[in-house]
Amino acid sequence: MHTLPQLPYSYDALEPYFDAMTMEIHHSKHHQAYIDKLNEALNGSGLEDKSIEELLRDLKDVPDSIRVAVQNHGGGHYNHSLFWESLTPAGSTENTMSTGLSDKLTETFGSIEKMKEDFKKTALSRFGSGWAWIVKKDTGELAIISTANQDSPLSENMSPILGLDVWEHAYYLKYQNKRADFVDAFWNLVNWQKVEKRLG
Ligand code: MN
């Protein structure tokens, strides 16, 4: 059985950038619903003991009858778990980028500002619901991409380094239609220490 991970901070810890009510609904209702539906789909499939990473990496091995459910609800579970861990209160130690990470990202994207610009463009051009990501491809190369719905980069042979949920439920209460303001706010909350660990 997959279970809802506890947040490593309180619902109001990301104020004023991410408001407490959105965080609470997003975590306790939306994320929980993905988990409930994933467990329901897996029940009796023989795949109950597989990790969520294994399920999504080897989506083609999941039986036809539940593949879409695992893609959507399993992806929802994995993506949100990674998202919560990618966040930290503004101004915390984890919110500070090390020189090593800054150099690496600058080398890849030209500059940190350029990286944020590309990421924002990608987040804004996702029509409807989905995610913006910084991923590591199987070649080791870093890239900024977007996925639709709850599709996970894991299912496309990529390792997510940083992800932003751009479904309206992630920002509508505070930002309404202004997805761009939500993306700008996100940078104040990134757990750069986690990002650096994922880079390996
Ligand atoms: Mn979400």
pLDDT at 107 over 90: yes
| Chain position carrying tokens 């940078």 | 187
Taking a 5 Å cut-off on Cβ, the residues next to ion ligand 1 are 165, 167, 170
Phi, psi of 133 (to 5 degrees): -140, 150
Q: What is the mean pLDDT of the chain?
A: 97
Instruction: Give the whole-angstrom CA distance, residue 72 versus residue 81.
Output: 14
Region label for 131, one of left (φ > 0), alpha (ψ between -120 and 50) or beta (otherwise):
beta
169 C-alpha to ligand 1 centroid (Å): 6
Q: What is the mean pLDDT of residues 187-191?
A: 98
- pTM for the model stands at 0.97
72 C-alpha to ligand 1 centroid (Å): 12
Helical ranges in the chain per DSSP H: 20-25, 32-42, 52-57, 64-69, 75-85, 99-109, 112-125, 172-175, 179-186, 192-199
31 C-alpha to ligand 1 centroid (Å): 7
Of 51, 10, 53, nearest in space to 28 by CA: 10
| DSSP structure class, residue 26 | I
- 47-94 pLDDT, tens digit per residue, is 999 999 999 999 999 999 999 999 999 999 999 999 999 999 999 999
Q: What is the mean pLDDT of residues 135-159?
A: 97
